[in-house]
Every structure is written in C-alpha cells, then in structure tokens.
A and B are shown apart, each in its own frame.
Chain A
Amino acid sequence: MTAMNENFALETVALSIGVARDAGSASVGEGMRDAILTAAAVSFGFFGTLFHRSIATADEVFAILGRRFDLPEFPALRRAAQAEAVERMRQAGRREITLANIYDRLPVEPALAEALQAAELALELDVLRPDLVAQAAFHHALELGRPSLIIADTYLGRAFIREALIRHGLDPVALFISSDCNATTRGGDLFDLAADYLAMPRDRLLHIGGDLQAEIAQAAAKGFATFHYRCPAPPSPPATVETKATAEPLAPRELGYQVSGPAAVGFLNWLERQVKADGINQVLFLAPGGGLLERIVRENPGAWDLPPCASFQGSHLAFTLAAMNDQNFQGHLPFLVADSDGLAPYEVLERLGVPALAPEVMADYNLGDDVQLSTASHVRLLHFLYELRFEILKVCRRNRRGLFAQLKQLEARRGARVALVGLDWDGATQDALEVALQGLFELNIHGYSLCRAITGTQAGAWAPPRRADALLSTRTVAPSIIHRLYENRLLIDLLFGAPQDAIIGLDPGVGRVEVVRDERWEATGRRAAVISALTDGAMAFARDHAVKLRTSVPPPAVEMAWPLVEFVRPGALPLDAEIGSLTNVNAWTGTRNRQPALPHQHPWSSAHGSGR
C-alpha cells in the first residue's frame, strides 16, 4: 500500500523483466525456491507477496472505522487528511508520509484522532491474510542462510510490519519501510538502501514482489534479480455474518443465532490471537458469562487453537467474600450493604448466602421484616453485620476453600499465566479474584472480556486491572457504544446465558466443588427456558461458523460481534415478550418488595462496580 497508489488489487499480469522468472510453467513455489537458490540474498515485498488484505479497498477500512466510532463522515475526513498530508509531504520535499502525518491533519479531537489511528492500525492487522506460498519461500530463504529482508511502501510503519510478522509467526528480519526510511520502492531508492545494507553484488540480490510496476520494474532497474510473484490463489473474501432483516422482535433462539452466536464467536476469534500473544498457559472461562464460550470451544474441537481450557466457577461476589477474613472484615462492610436500599434487612444476608435470621431475632436488632432499607437504616445495618461477622466469615471461608479446591481441581499451577475470560464489564471480578488469591494461590491473571467499560462511579479514579484486555473497549469503538453496551449489560449477560440464579459462593464439597447459587428468583423456570433457547441459537451459529471456517476466513473479530452492538442501538427492535417479562434479573438488588422487569432494571450503581 502506498500513499500514491491506493490500488490493493493483486497484480495478476505475468511479465518477465530482466532475470525475473515467469512462474507460468512450473509451480510458483518451486520457481521462487529455485530463484532463491541462485541468489546471495533475498528481499521480499510485503503487501501482495507475504500478505494480502482481505478487503478490497481502503475505503472499506475507513467505513468500518466510521461505524465503530459513530462518525459517518470519517471516510471523507480520512481521505481529505491523507491528501493534505501528501501535499505537505511534497511541499516539505519528503518522499513518503506516515500514518501520524495523516491523523495530524484529521479535524477531530486529538484524543479521538489517537484512538482512531490505533484502531486503524489494529484493523489493518486484522484484515491481513498470510500468503502461505510466499511465506514458505521466506522460510526457505532463511533455512538456506540467505540474508533476507522485507521491503514495503506503506505509511503504516515499521512497528506495524513487525507486529504482523510476529502475529503470523514469521521471524523479524531487516525491514526497509518507506515511511520510516523516507524512501520508496516506486522511486527505486528503497532498493538502493537495501543493496547498500547487504553490501553484495546487486545481480546476486533477488527481490520477490507482487507489484510489477512499483517493485519488480524498479528493483530490476536497480540491478536486482527479480521474481514477480503472482499469487496462485487469492484469499477469498471473509465470511460474513448473515442476519435476517425483520421488523418483529426476535424469538430467543433466533436472537441467540443472530446476536449471541456471532458475538461469542468474534470474541473467541479475538481471544485466540490474544492468548497466543500473551503466552497464556491456561484459559479459564468464568461462568456464567464464559459458560457459553467454554461450551462453544468444547463442542467445536479444533475450531480454535487455545491453551488448555476449563470452565471456572465464581463471581464478583463469591470472590469478594473469599477475600474477607477476620482482619479485613470491617473494610468490606460498605460492599456488603451496597445497593441494599429497598431490600428487607434479612435479604442482605440471603443475597450473600448467609443463613437469614428468624424474624423475631431480626426484630431484636430493630431490623425486622417491616423495615425497608434506606440511607437512614445504613448505620444500624452496618452494626448488625458487624455483630454477625463471624457468621458471615463462615461463608467467606467456605468460598475461599471452594476457590482453592477449584484451582486444585483445574490443576492450576502457582505462578502460571492464566486467562480469565468472561463478561467482566468493569474488571471488578478480576480484581476481586486477584485480591482473593493474594497469599492464597498466586496466579498471573490476564483478564479478557467482551467489553470493558469505565463506569460512572469509577471514571477518573478508575485504573484498569493489572492485566486486562477487551474485544470492545474505547480503544476499538466509540465511548458512546461502550456506554450503551454497559447500560444493557444485564441483557447481554442474559444473551450469554448468565442464569438468573447468580453464583454467590463456592462449596468445596466432598471431592467436587459445588456452586452455591442465589435461587430466590427462579420459581417459574421461565428464565431457564429463555436461556436454553438463546444458548441453542448461539451454539447453532458456532457450529455453522466452524463449518464455514474450512472454506473462508472470518471477518475481523469486532465486525463479527457487531450485531450485538446493533442490537442495543437506540431504536433497535423491542425485546421479545418472553425476555422482556423476566423480573429481578439482577439477583444482588432483587427483593421481594418489588419485581422490576428486565427493561427497567435499576442501573448498576454501586460504589464497588458490578457488585456481584
């Protein structure tokens, strides 16, 4: 890709110039290998040789970015900025521009420009497809001990090329990148630089490239032997996520197929790459959100190349309780009473999994069943909980023992690099787990979540958990989209199969860890039926996706998950009646005093993030 020529289509015209070999009669790979055998050193082109892009034009990249950042005018702005950068480059007498030059000219807030620039680089990496034939030749050259290098005209820069090589398992070699060298292949001077670097007779230097004009002709003009590489099998366009246009609310199974499934699969595609890059030893799918992901991976063996995976039971609440002991109990009191307004006092115990006291005993504490908690009763409640601390601590110890037993069951190794995968919206669950494991079982935890939000209460003071990434974050999409997803997190939890009877504890049990659930709100079984249908739909999508993977490449992960973003867009379809009528979806704030339905759930507003 060059600043001057935005034609990304593969050059398929076969021409031989100078000593270039025509691969028409022999297989392309063999031709390349023969050429390499006779050369003293080899330079490879990047775009059109080692890699191809899976989308046709840069405009498509710009359109995707505009959509992700809620900026419909972005493609036009981006093109104009590039044109202006090129003009300035000419005026300054330079030969190439950089991506930073372009974004400097973009008329948006600097922070947004920075995010867009990072997102463009990330997207460009995502759309790269390796050319296996050319890469085999690259490996062949290295095996023969031929000094090798890569030459590319691109404003994306050396770091981008290095990242692409690493991501696709190619050894980083010497890089001659136009934007870093202020020299281009199309001008020929990049080949001069490469020849000077190699310090060998030029006719012993071979350039393998796919662009006849900008590479082959210029290399030949500079005295290089050349091999014009014509890709024998251009990459097929990425598989698309097919969604059915409808004006009616989607039934749960259809919703699972059209929304949950693509989001889960996109997340897994992204996860596969991330855990590899981060050197993860073990993947723990944090139930319940990660339960669907774990099931998809388990039931589609081979579809994702992941380290050993397991389902990990727990929740923010279970881990926070596991961290509590007789020495730090007092510091956790605010957590215990968070979001308790409107609840009956005994329900504060129930939601922790602590056996609730008889009405007459609660009345002795002036916290009888007639009391509806409010700010006015907080102090009394705090005193009561403190009085009851050793009963609560019994539950805490049970959870801690359950957590420990679970890690042993999963054969986790102390100090291992572990991926914690799930719907940890604000990193609170990861934080809680890390705190619970301090001094108990040290793990090197890296959190991977579908979406990472900065909550209102945390904004400013919030610092991201020590090691965490998300498919959807303000680095990849507009903050407004993240906000919207976060506001609908209960619904999205549901789409990922999070059951209503939330996990509130872990019991080491006898030989097998048992999950303790808050079962207060699932009397009818309606929710279980909805979740079952949603999960069926998502699983069906994953199966279809695994089949498609054999013949086509998936779209970038964020694009794959995009139907989920669309689903929560204002003006999107209303919820199906079955889903919309579910009540008390949030077990933490659930109370017998009121029965809020899903669309009217109280926003999560605790001082401790997602306090479950």
Chain B
Amino acid sequence: MDEQESRIAELARALADRDLDIQRLSRLADERLEILRQQAGERDALQQELALIHGSRSWQLTRPLRWALRRAGQFKTVLRTVSGTMRRHGMLAPVVDGVRLYRDHGPSGFKFWLLNGVAPGMAPGPNPLSGVPLGDIRGPDGYVYRALRRPFDLDLRLKDLSITFSIVVPVYNTAPALLEAAIRSVEAQWYPHWQLVLVDDASTDLATRAALDLPRDPRVTVLRSPKNQGIAGATNDGLAKATGDFIVFLDHDDELTADCLYELALCIAAHDPDFVYSDEDKITEDGRYTQPFFKPDWSPDTMMSTMYTCHVSCVRRSLVEELGGLRSEYDGCQDWDLVLRLSERTTRIQHVAKVLYHWRIIPQSTAADLQAKPYVVAVSERLRADTLARRGLKGTLEPLPQLPAYHRVRYEMRGTPTVSVIIPSRDNQAVLAACLESIRGKSSYDRYEIVVVDNGSREPATLGYLNRIRSWPGVKVIRHDAPFNYSELNNLGVAAAAGDILLFLNDDTEVLTPDWLERMAGFAQLDHVGAVGAKLLYPGGSEIQHAGVLNIDAGPSHAFLRHSPDHYGYFLRNLLEYNWLAVTGACLMVERRKFEAIGGFDLRLPVAYNDIDVCMRLYEAGYYNVMCQAVQLIHHESVSRGLDFVSREKMERLKRDRDCLFDLHPDLFQRDPFNNPNLHPNGINFEIV
C-alpha cells in the first residue's frame, strides 16, 4: 500500500509539474499570440495606408518624377564610380577599366560596374562572405591557431623588461623530433632573457641522449640524472640549477608559442604576480592545432574541481623554492599539487587570456584522455583529499556520475547553522505550496526556517494558505503590500530572518536534491566564497534553465540554456563546480555576514538584475561565487511574474535595469572574469570561434 501511495504521490507531483509547465507555456503562448496580433494589426494598417497612397492621385501624378529621381540616383552612382576610379587610378582609368569590363563581362558587366563601383563577382559592400578554405592548417574541430607577427617596435618594448625566466624541461626517452621542436620553440622566443634547463631523467633511448648532446644556444643547460626519478624529481633537479626570476614549466614534447615569454614578462611587469597561467591548445599527431582551452581568471573552486590552469605555468622561483619544489608522491598531478599549495601562499595570480602553449597529443597521454591514465585519476583524488586536510576543511571527493574519472568536492557543513529560506510571493498559492512542500518533504537538513514575504496577495486561496502556514513551525509570513520590488522584498525577508545563512528562493521552484542545503552551505561557509547557486531545470527535469550566469556582450545570460542536465559543457563546466561571476537569485545562498557587508539587495534594481548586482558586489568585495552543479531544483521560470522580453514596455524596463547594473559596475561592462574573451562574445555555450 505504502508503495502504491508513494507511487500515486509521485504521479500527482508529476501531474502538478506538467500542469505548471502547461500553465507557463500557455501563458507564454498567449503573450506571444498577443504580440503577433498587435503586429498583424499594425501590418494591416500599414498595408491599407500603402494601398491608399498607391491609389492616390498625387502618387499617380508623381510617377514621372519618381522615375526621374531613380534615374538621377543612378546617374549619381555612375558619376561616383567614374570619379572614384579617376581619383584612385588616374584620368584614363575609367576608360581603361570600362573597356576591360566590357570585353570581359559584356554590356551587363559594364552596367554592373557603373552602378556598383566593382566588377561583377566582386563583393559590392556587405555581400555574404565565406571563409578562405584553410583545410590544411585548420584543426579537426575547425580551430585555427594563428601565430602573431613580431611587433615592429619589439626592441623598444623590450627595453623596459628585465625579468628573467628559467624554463625547466624534464626529458625522458623523448622522440628527438619532438624534443627538437620543444627546444626550438624556446629558442624562437621574442623575449631574450631566458635560461633553458633540460633534465635528462636517465633516458634509455640513445636517440634522445644524442639529441641532448647536440650543440645548443649558450642559454641552454643540459643536466643528466644518474637514475630515473620521475617527473617531479627530474624537475626539481632542474629547479636547483635555475637562475631566472620565474620558472616556466615545459613538457619535453610540447611547445611554447613565440610570444609566450614576452606575454608573461608583460603580465609580470604590469601586475607583479607570483603565478601566471595562460590559455593553451593541443597539437594533433599530424601537427595541427586543436582543442583550445580558453580559461577563466583565477578560480579557487574550479581549481579544486579540475587542474584547469595547466599550461603554461609560470611561478616566481622564490615561491617554488619556498614550497620545496614539486612532490614526487603526486607524480602525474605534481603541477596541480604545486598550484594548490602556492594558492595557499599567495593571491597574486594572473591569467593571460592568450594561447601561449601547445600541448602535444600523444596516444595514452593525459592530453589525449584522462581516463587513459587510471593512476592519475587516483592521484588527483588523493591530492585533493590531502589538500582539504591541509586546509583544515572537511569534505569528500565524489566521482561525477557522468564521468567517474572526474571528482567534485562535497564540503561538509560546519556546525549546524540555521538556514533562512526567503521566498517572496504574491497570489501564487498553488506554486508556493508546491515549493514549500518540496522543501519540507525533500530536505535532509532540518535546521532551516522559511520566511515567506507576501507582496500584498489578494486572492482568497492564497490568503487562506498564508494564514495556514503562518502557524507551521519554522515558517514566518511577513506582509509587504507595496509595488513589486524584488530587492526590497528580499531585504525585508532578511530583516525578519534569524539564520546565519540566507537562501533566496523563488516561489516557483521545487527541490530535487535532498541534501541541497548541506551541499550549498558547505560552499557558502568557505571564507572565500560569496554566492552559491544551484542547477535549475525546467519542469520535467530534462532541460537546463540555470547552470550559471555568463556576462556576455548582450548582458548577463544563462549558460547552457535548455541543454540536458548531463551535458558536459566546455571542459565539464556544466558538471563540475566552477566559479562564476554570477548565479541566479532564483536560488542563491550566501552567508548573512557577507550579504550584510555588501549592503544587501539594491533597491534601484526592483525587477531585473538585482541578483546579478549582488553577485557582482560580492565579487568586487573579493569573494568568489560558485555554482553547485550537484544541487538540482525545478524552476517554473517567471510563472509568478511573466517573462521580461515579451512586450516593448518590459524590454525597455529590462534595458533600463541593465544600464543601471553597469552604471553600478562599470568595470564589469562586457567583461566576465570567469568566461574568456577568446570565446564567442555572445555565446552561452562557450563556443570556440
């Protein structure tokens, strides 16, 4: 019986889901129909007006005039073509060109030239253009790496740069051609102040040893290790001989771009960082570039999810020494270990958003597939568990259900703080009830309170429901009967809330993940974390409504919209916990102390972008916002208030609010530190261009 009842309840919930979905879609359809109706009306009126004009006497009478004006226009174009040709190529040029075009294209070609200023087949203005076929240099994914020209005034620019680099390369049985390519890539650097330290980790391949014996640039040092120590040990040998201000790590079969050290030097001169990393791409076996990784700026939580900084990696030598170099027990993830440790010592970390490193794909290498090296997976898990312990944090590593070789960190909640769930609502009984039911029915953590901020409900059903829940334990209902201002409602909710952790929640959401509060709070309690977001799905659960907000050129936009929740995303960004500039306020958790430190929601943003503003202010205050992809909720988006883009008035309001947002945060106008400028400027799926 229990099973049956549970099944019935599940079906009832599914039905309710569907009803809400239908309600949302029919509302959307109604609004769009209304727009279509209005546009059809306007079109009909315009057509009638046009018919009247065409039928009018004045139109008929002015027909010769219009003909004459058209001809005059053409005559003017012809004059422009002729005079332009004369001006550019001399007095006789129009005659010569005209004759040539007449001969090559006939009278119609001649006429085309006169009226368009270009020969037939040439692009007169903005004709559709297709790319130049570059099949031989384009990667299998269509990506093209385009090397840059040495700046014409490079010598002048270099005068101000004196930083020195030591490039350390552990070598073991490397194919001579690949080793040669790696060394050549260093020798071809625009930036001259470098030292290359090649450490032969007791190669058994004679060809490798012979390649290392070849005469080299005096800046190249070759060290021989008597025994094979592994990558960390060999690198540490190289570090001991390094003299540069900064260490640059280069794998024996990879390549630096010619501008790599120059760009690193510029970055160091401008920001004085301790650690610099850049974007990178890969080299296929046939020598083409592919799979560029355009990375976010420094993201501590992303760093715990994946070794995203990877190549090129440039660390101040004194810091590497302070850290004791690389650790052999983490061979395979020794670089990850280094970055995690150094980020505990410094916050001076910079990202150069340029491809400065080509990582060669060799079958069975990590570049090809992480799963190809099971021992690396194990090390990566151990490494992060050790990191948590070192940092005094409690948490566990969980394999991703979709990709078990990758692990996310599940931080354990510290203590048993009260979580205040603040839900603004108005005349939305059915939706609110489903939301509250899901919280009360699903949540595995029970130290929470619900603060419903009623924005002046009028409907009897809603008023009755609010009266009922008022008496529920852990539920507060406060009434604010004033024009809708989401910021104000939430601030009032916070004032009435008792919890140290705040969770702003839309009334049209439903919890799916039982330990949602613990998971989100685990992140929210980290000192460096600001807002924590959750993955929101459209009713039915098969499409993403929110998986993080990207600040693209068009403004804040939801990433991976309508993709499957299991979609990997760019470098697993839809599955792993990454730092994002913003998360939606439909489900946003933040510690009260941090929220109050930034002054709460801004009342100047009553409808849109108030949540983005909170996230931006948290970011500007030095916090990192994070998306907890493991937490999922259903979101019946804007059932309560309607969508913002369906009428001109709403569009204008949206534009006003967006203007206000960027007036408040001018530095973030068309900038998202957690996206990358090399990706599509208006892409929500991290499209490579």
Contact surface of A with B, Cβ cutoff 8 Å: 325-326, 330-331, 333-334, 341, 346, 350, 355-361, 364-366, 375, 378-380, 382-384, 386-388, 390-391, 393-394, 397, 400-401, 404-405, 408, 414, 439, 441, 456-457, 460-461, 508, 519-520, 603, 605
Contact = CB atoms under 8 A, between A and B. Distances in A.
B137 interface: yes
A326 B680 contact: yes
A214 B680 CA distance: 79
Q: Is the interface of B mostly helix, strand, loop or mixed?
A: loop
Contacts of A325: 553, 681-682
A500 to B, nearest CB: 14
Given A386-B129, A414-B659, A364 B122 contact: no
6 contacts: A358-B149, A361-B146, A364-B134, A378-B122, A390-B689, A404-B670
Contact of A355 (B80, B83, B149, B662): B149
B152 interface: yes
A605 B87 contact: yes
Interface in B142-191: 146-150, 152-153
B667 interface: yes
Contacts of B678: 390, 394
A393 B655 CA distance: 23
A508 B681 contact: no
A405 B667 contact: yes
B153 A357 contact: no
Nearest to A394: B677
A408 B663 contact: yes
Contacts of A461: 76
Interface of B: 76, 80, 83-84, 87-88, 118, 122-123, 125-126, 128-132, 134, 137, 146-150, 152-153, 258, 553, 655, 659, 662-663, 666-667, 669-671, 677-678, 680-682, 689
Given A358-B148, A359-B149, 6 more contacts: A325-B682, A331-B126, A356-B148, A388-B146, A457-B84, A460-B76
B666 A405 contact: yes
Contacts of B84: 457, 605
Given A334-B125, A460-B76, A387 B132 contact: yes
**Main secondary structure on A side of the interface with B:** helix
B670 A401 contact: yes
Given A394-B677, A404-B662, A326 B682 contact: yes
Nearest to A441: B659
Contacts of A358: 146-150, 258
A382 B118 CA distance: 14
Q: Which of B137, B666, B682 gathers the greatest number of chain A CB atoms within 10 Å? A: B666
A397 B553 contact: yes
A24 to B, nearest CB: 65
Which of A350, A380, A404 has the largest number of chain B CB atoms within 10 A?
Answer: A404
A457 B87 CA distance: 11
Contacts of A405: 666-667, 669
Contacts of B88: 341, 375, 605
Nearest to B85: A375
Interface centre among A356, A375, A382, A441 (most CB of B within 10 A): A375
B671 A357 contact: no
A387 B689 contact: no
B36 to A, nearest CB: 24
Contacts, number: 107
A390 B147 contact: no
Nearest to B658: A439
Contacts of B680: 326, 390
A366 B133 CA distance: 11
Given A357-B148, A401-B671, A387 B87 contact: no
A365 B553 CA distance: 29
B68 to A, nearest CB: 15
A393 B122 contact: no
A584 to B, nearest CB: 13
Contact of A383 (B130, B150, B667): B130
Contact of B681 (A355, A365, A393, A457): A393
A371 to B, nearest CB: 14
Given A358-B147, A414-B659, A456-B83, A330 B129 contact: yes
The residue in A390, A441, A461 that gathers the most chain B C-beta atoms within 10 A of its C-beta is: A390
Nearest to A400: B670
B667 A326 contact: no
Contact of B126 (A333, A366, A393): A333
Nearest to B150: A358
Contacts of A439: 655
A323 to B, nearest CB: 12
A364 B137 contact: yes
Nearest to A398: B677
Contacts of B258: 358
A456 B148 CA distance: 39
A35 B4 CA distance: 108
> Considering residues A360, A380, A401, which has the most beta carbons from chain B within 10 angstroms of its beta carbon?
A401
Nearest to A389: B689
Contact of A386 (B80, B131, B137, B681): B131
A540 B150 CA distance: 43
B332 to A, nearest CB: 35
Contacts of A456: 83
B350 to A, nearest CB: 12
Nearest to B666: A408
Contacts of B677: 394, 397
B188 to A, nearest CB: 11
Contacts of B689: 390
